[in-house]
Amino acid sequence: MSIENHIAELGAELWAWRRRQQPRSHDDIPRIEREPLWSPKWSATDIAGYRSDIATFDKRWKSLDAGSAKSPKCAIEDYVDYRLIGSAISRVIWELDHIKVWQEQPRFYIDQSIGVLFDHLLPLKVTPEALGEVAEILKETPRILAEGKANLAGHAIKEYAQVAIELLHAIDTQIREVIKHLLPMASGDLAEQLQNRSEAAITAFLEYRSWLEAEKSKFAPIRSIGREQYQWFFDHIALVPYTPEAMREIGQIEWDRAVTLEALAKNKYRNFPYAPLPATSDEQVRNERVAEQGVRDFYESEGILSQPNSLKHYLNAAIPPYLLPIRWLGVTDDLTGPSRVDEDGYSYVPTPGPELPYFYAANARDTRAGIVHEGAHYQQLAISWRHARKLRRHYYDSGSNEGIAFYNEELMLAAGLFDDAPHSQTLMYNFMKLRAMRVIVDVNLAIGEIDIPTATAYLEKKVPMDHGTAYEEAVFFASSPGQALTYQIGKTQIIKFFSDAQAKFRSEFTIRGFHDYLWLNGNVPISLLRLEYLGDTGDLDLIDGRKK
């Protein structure tokens, strides 16, 4: 068998295994299609099995002689796929043995139980099959939470436990409210199952919360991941060529730039009135549908990004009453999936009002603010899920996905999409500030230069944002090192990629062609795209040199 076939075979086997093993995430980009009636399994036996399995995959991957970036022993496209398998294997090792989410973070088991329920209810139409999945995960919830207590005992982190306790403060009323709205859609035995199993799940959640409250004082305080492990993440998973210090410097430069641009825009448009909030969510839904088509037309008319007829739409919908009580469990959108690329994607919106949170308020005033970011996610994923090379249909790291979406914000701002909306221009610069600041906080927390209170105060004053939100952001950054900076670092890599591609191809370079390639390969780390598109090994040379 050729090396190319070995790579494809190993990748297919790894991802078939990963569909069963991969933990549920409250982020929307890593969502994965599962087998029917799947439920997470995190007993001590399961974890030992995962470690054994991933060690076998790792051994098989390392035994493949694919050469190096400078001297691959296969086609460049296959070498890129080979490196993607290494990234996927490393992410499993990172989850199990570096950040140990299953052992240190009590929220993990909330995500693995009712979080799975939340995901099943995201498609716009709730089917009998979806209700069956809800009943199944409710049945499995007591087991999942019991496994959580066994794994967390003696290992959980105090701050993470406090977050989980606060998240579960009204879990009983929330679940009952969800079931109340689902019962009219169910019939016969299924309705009875939903009712009975939800009460058993509530009992298990209340016991879990009480256990956390009782044990919290015994848990260890939060600690940084440390520079060495942090660098390991970028060298093995994200495949980012920068050191933590270099990324922090990028964040600081971009922060200064965004502060300046925002101040200038505010001054320029100081006498312009703000766009009013829509009166109802239905009005916002109508506004967004028109705006989404306008953005697609703008991509085409400006020669920025192809919009094939096969690509469906990213739309808004009023948040359903059964999702409203548990909207905190994840991003309230449905970006569809590999088997559903012929369906529209939806983002659920709350009723407009003066108390809307930061991003909801921005999207309500100008729905294009969401379209150029979350809508970019929908399009990138829908395009990537059609990729002829199957290994590129999967998520590996947020750096490329979030980098593309954040890059797209400034791309569309510079191209003139927001020329008719002065305060939306200011908003784009404010988004830049937020993403730049996340780099600084992410790095400093991970390498131990600041603690949670310092990070909270920094976010509270600099964004600015309320204390509670700032604290939640700081704890989230600490629990997921390397994720918060993906927006800015990914965007920075893309801008350099664009510039270098234009310099290399000169008159043959087209903006549309570059972006079509980037969106199609939007799950692939930029360092690998530079190798394939430009023949440039520089980033990978730096990464691989650090591993020696």
The whole-number pLDDT of residue 1 equals: 81
Q: Do β-strands 345-349 and 314-318 pair in parallel, antiparallel, or remain unpaired?
A: parallel
* Cβ proximity of 372 and 455 under 8 Å: no
pLDDT of residue 129 exceeding 90, the answer is yes
- CA dist 88 and 78 (Å) reads 15
| Same-domain check for residues 25 and 142 | yes
pTM for the full predicted model: 0.97
| Same-domain check for residues 87 and 183 | yes
Within a domain: residue 488?
no
Summarize pLDDT for 16-49 with one digit per residue, the tens.
Answer: 999 999 999 999 999 999 999 999 999 999 999 9
- CA dist 182 and 126 (Å) reads 9
Within a domain: residue 438?
no
Q: Which of 194, 218, 242 is the last residue of a domain?
A: 218
Cα dihedral 271/272/277/283 (nearest 10): 160
Within a domain: residue 30?
yes
How big is the chain, counted in residues? 548
Percent of the chain with pLDDT over 70: 100
Roughly what angle, to the nearest 10 degrees, separates helices 422-446 and 358-365? 160
Mean local confidence (pLDDT), 326-336: 97
Within a domain: residue 12?
yes
Domain count, the chain: 2
How does the average pLDDT of the chain come out, rounded? 96
| Same-domain check for residues 207 and 285 | no
Structure tokens at 128: 């009998």
Helices and strands, number each (H, E), in the chain: 24, 3
R_g of the chain, CA atoms, integer Å: 23
Within a domain: residue 305?
yes
Roughly what angle, to the nearest 10 degrees, separates helices 128-152 and 44-63? 100
| Same-domain check for residues 211 and 292 | no
Within a domain: residue 53?
yes
3-class state of residue 40 by DSSP: coil
Query: By C-alpha distance, which of 377, 298, 383, 296 is closest to 338?
Result: 383
3-class state of residue 65 by DSSP: coil
Range list of β-strands (E), 1-40: none
Q: Which of 218, 245, 266 is the last residue of a domain?
A: 218
Residue with tokens 């200011």: 426
Local structure of residue 258 (DSSP, 8 states): H
| Same-domain check for residues 160 and 283 | no
| Same-domain check for residues 189 and 321 | no
Mean local confidence (pLDDT), 211-224: 96
| Same-domain check for residues 112 and 190 | yes
Q: Which of 360, 386, 412 is the last residue of a domain?
A: 386
| Same-domain check for residues 38 and 178 | yes
| Same-domain check for residues 158 and 285 | no
| Same-domain check for residues 212 and 325 | no
Name the pLDDT band for 472 (thresholds 50, 70, 90): confident
- CA dist 79 and 174 (Å) reads 48
pLDDT of residue 548 exceeding 80, the answer is no
pLDDT of residue 465 exceeding 90, the answer is no
Strand partners, 444: none
Within a domain: residue 299?
yes
Summarize pLDDT for 89-111 with one digit per residue, the tens.
Answer: 999 999 999 999 999 999 999 99
Count of CA atoms in the C-beta half-sphere (13 A) of 13: 13
| Same-domain check for residues 8 and 133 | yes
What do you get for the CA distance between the two ends of the chain, in Å?
Answer: 30
Residue with tokens 């290399």: 504
Helix or strand (DSSP H, E) at 33: none
The whole-number pLDDT of residue 460 equals: 87
Within a domain: residue 208?
yes
pLDDT of residue 475 exceeding 90, the answer is no
| Same-domain check for residues 73 and 170 | yes
The range of the structural domain enclosing residue 77 comes to 3-218
